[in-house]
Structure 1
């Protein structure tokens, strides 16, 4: 009898824990606001934490205002495992975007933008190959000589610096071109970088959940509007919303819209999720 009661007690504890787990991770996101706070914050984006947090608040309101629901709540001191962490992560994606922006090149998810960037890339790549051949020829000549001419050495150093700068520009274009190839579903070969190798996929942001931990990672944005849209999109995934077919929607699979208001398709997806 004692063994039976002990076993029953253990089963009741397991059931209670399971019920709490179910309520915590599988309840409708509309029942109570999702707590979030700031995780990783990379300063190489050259924005302040206040700027980023203000953008997060604005993105949160994109869903809350039209729905009239309190969907998210900022809790900076919350250290629980299930709190939604929002991370700003600087890598090759933002580096490429920043480089193109410094060159006055704005990229949009259109075939016209792809064709224009491809033309600029091909011209720059051709120029790079010519200058690289000239540099290698001069290096070979330098190595055959006494290698003690200061002016020749400085000329070679200057040529190498120019080539490295061109390589950075080419590689930034490659990242953008490969993203456009995937986004526009173009039947072309993948573009290759120079002096480096990359095989990463291109995503501006991603929502991640393993059932106990959740995070939003932001990798790239070219403007505040793009930052707000990618944050709002990933907030949508945090609400368990799927992608929708409306190309102007926040939850469309591509960040190509120019509005910061949810479309009817967005709101319909939210209503459906809240009704579950």
Structure 2
């Protein structure tokens, strides 16, 4: 008895946000562009098989995303290449393993680093406010100190001018001296309060500087750890967003057992891209060298930057070649 051979196409996409690229070698480029013809007529059925609950993705959400992925190819072919069924055709599964677990850890670390960065920025703003408050207090202290010195000089000048040889001051001058002395005391008290307030603000400032520096140390350590783990992840040839399309064949007869496995989901957009990529393999499209193609073997992205959500011209050309080949042209 001849055992069925199993053909595996392992497609590795980049880890979102960490600049890690793992991929299979680029496949040969498809044939040159040919006139557009709608020749793909056979439908490929698909259904949802297994969803690991740790992905936190509902069956409906996966069906909706898979439907959106099939629509990319359906619209390009101008015919329903793919059709959703209950339990027939390609089995689509979300398989949770060390790749998703590691990505979740890295994503959590990245979120922590991002929050620390925001906290540091907020701390810098708070320090700027405190620094401005200290400058304002210093300005007031200088002004009140000058005011106190002027009052003291006026007091001494008035006293010296009216003091007789016996060291006595006429009673008529005493009210003016007392007024100047009271004003000096009031300004002196204000000045002392202002100095104490400035000392409290400086203490808060120094405390927040220490806290800010601690945040910066935590941020640096976290980023270094994140880079180290990301580099370790990149050394794993199976790291990234993977989809596996498996086709089993008997003797010259294709066995209707096809699967799409997604091992890591970083976002709804990334899931759409990987599903569309694997659907392309399901209809016979190899990897393309164009970096903007859904079927590229190297799909790079950064956090906040969307992966390809539409078929490129290269994808459409490859689809036409496959359809023409299927029609015997």
- TM range, smaller chain: 0.5 to 0.7
Per-residue deviation, 1:271: 0.2
Q: Give the Å deviation of 1:231.
A: 0.4
Which residue of structure 1 aligns with residue 281 of structure 2? 237
Q: How many angstroms apart in 2 are the aligned matches of 1:33 and 1:250?
A: 21
Aligned-residue offset at 1:254:
2.1
TM-score of the two chains, using structure 1 as the length reference: 0.55
Q: Distance in 1 between matches of 2:223 and 2:267?
A: 26
Gaps of 5+ in 1: 1-28, 107-118, 125-168, 181-189, 191-198
Q: CA RMSD in A?
A: 2.5
Structure 1 segments (4+ residues) deviating >4 Å: 119-122
Q: Tell me how far apart the structure 1 counterparts of residues 232 and 86 of structure 2 sit (CA, whole Å).
A: 37
Corresponding position of 2:312: 263
Distance in 1, Cα, partners of 2:87 & 2:308: 33
* Residue of structure 1 in register with 2:66 after alignment: 56
Matched, 1:221 2:258: no
CA contact (8 A) 1:229 1:255 kept: no
Query: Cα 1:31–1:120, aligned 2, differ >3 Å: closer, same or farther?
Result: farther
The answer to whether 1:202 aligns with 2:256 is no
Question: For 1:15-164, what aligned pairs fall within 5 Å after superposition?
Answer: 30-78=40-88, 83-104=89-110, 123-124=224-225
What whole-Å deviation, never above 9, does each CA across 1:115-161 have from its counterpart, x for those lacking one?
xxxx867843xxxxxxxxxxxxxxxxxxxxxxxxxxxxxxxxxxxxx
| Contact 1:208 1:214 (C-alpha < 8 Å) held by counterparts | yes
**C-alpha distance in structure 2 between counterparts of 1:120 and 1:272, whole Å:** 51
Instruction: Between the two structures, name the one with larger relative contact order (CA 8 Å, sep ≥ 6).
Output: 2
Match of 1:272 in 2: 321
How many residues are treated as equivalent by the alignment?
Answer: 168
Say if 1:248 and 1:256, in contact at 8 Å, map to a contact too: no
Q: Kindly tell me: are residues 252 and 200 of structure 1, through their superposed partners in 2, closer, same or farther at Cα, counting changes over 3 Å?
A: closer
Q: C-alpha distance in 1, partners of 2:322/2:232?
A: 34
